[in-house]
Structure 1
Amino acid sequence: MAKVEKSKSLVDKLRHKYRLAVFNEQTFEEVFGMRLSRLNVFITIGITSIVLIVFVIYLIAFTGLREYIPGYPSGHERRLIIQNTQRVDSLIWEIERRDKFFRDIRAIMSGELPEGATAEDIDSLNEYNNSKISFKKSEEDSIFREQIEREEKFNLSAFETTSNKLELEHRFLFTPLKGVVVNKFGESEGHYGVDIVAKEGARVSSVLEGTVIFTGWTVETGYVIQVQHSHNLISLYKHNERLLKSMGDKVQAGEAIAHVGNSGEFTTGPHLHFELWYNGVAIDAEQYMSFE
């Protein structure tokens, strides 16, 4: 009973009404007055505190004020953290692949099986070596050969040779990027392309239609994309900010494949390092296109 009476008295105290009044000091006239209780005061203070906390969290989460909080990284620092994380992942993957290659070479030189290979693979090769394979022509082969000869009879590409291939000078090459050429072809040893300075994020286009044969990131050249075109022509685009295509993708002439960036150690600002390789030899791209 004592506990019940004590709890009732506590509730009564919380609900007990008080009057807050403000008087004029000279005339003692009541200027302002309001009725309140301890419970109302506690509820008002609690709701106000919750509203203030939600408001502060909103300012920190959705406005730029969070960058002024000590220890909170800025947007540029967060982008650098993400880029460095991607670079570290790429380096780890390259190192693991290189180590596996070295382990396989050592295993082969010591007469052991490479990593991932089994004795069944070797035994299957021995079966082919020990068996007698016959290469006699069958009736089905003759029919198939005649069908192919009829289909390719009027196909000029089947009789194409190196001498009658379309020369590079007679082909129209799209300009990959409009800008200012700061380093020309062959200005320094090992410089097999041209460096075009442009605004960061500008569009990089493919010079011809072809197939993307390489996309990746290296420490020296950053994000790189390589496109294989017809007639043994290859184009390379280095130091990109972002790649828009993946390996195996088909691209058209003038199609966007990357954005100009400043990635890699061998760069001093946003630019594109562009190379052209024809029949395995690097050529001067300025002889076939204008970058201005």
Structure 2
Amino acid sequence: MNFKEYRKKIATKSLTKYVLVLKNRETLEDKLSITLTPLNLILLLSGIFVLFAFIILFLFTRTPLREYAYRSQNETFYKNEFLKMNNLKDSLMLKIENIEKERQNLLNILSGNDSIYQNVPLTDTANVSLDFEADKISEDEAKFREEYEKTSQNLAEISPFELKTFFPPLKGFITDTFNTETNHFAIDIASAKNTAIKSIGNGTVIATDWTPENGNIIIIQHSDNVISVYKHSSAILKKSGSYVSAGEPIALVGTTGELSSGYHLHFEMWKNGTPVNPKDFIIF
């Protein structure tokens, strides 16, 4: 038998029809009859197999059974996610501690206490000996010194804050001045939208915030327990903890907050927890 005859024989057998009959066992009555060929049977079984494989694949990819199928991979995934969440938790806790530290620092300044950032070493005068013999001076010199002390102010009594000058935060028109009678402890300076607001001196940003009344706020701590406050800005350019130099842009002019009626800067200066008039220290 050659190949052609063998192939023809196989084709003939695959197309041979068979009848599958289901009978009633007691009456032998035909209940169901199905005509099949070997080829149809193969196709039917193949279809059932494919359907079964699809169902299994669906169960192990789209249902909770996938947890059991990919258990080792899931354990690695969840372990990595746990480590990420743990690191994020540590980062958030650190930020919360920094915010609490800045809040406490601001409360100290507003209460007139020393800043927690100001760690200036003080001279230990406990062991300084004051036992010395004063130089002998002439009678004329003694008289001159006495008259000078009565008519002149000793420069050593002038605080560094009184001698300090600050950089103007913004060039514009002053629309409202410092007035203790109206509880307006600031100067309002009108200017164009998004004009750069600058730091009045070297310092550290101790707070950046937003409130419904004042909008965007940035607060900077300077030396000698001086803080400057800038309100109603459209954007804050610095983050808490950043060091800024005098004249460095820190925010942009805006009109954020319910208390703002136009594009301007609400600028405050505080010394030892007490508001001071900025015009006494800045030439606007």
TM-score (norm 1): 0.44
**Relative contact order, CA 8 A, sep 6+: which one is greater?**
2
Whose radius of gyration is greater, 1 or 2? 2
**TM-score (structure 2 length as normaliser):** 0.45
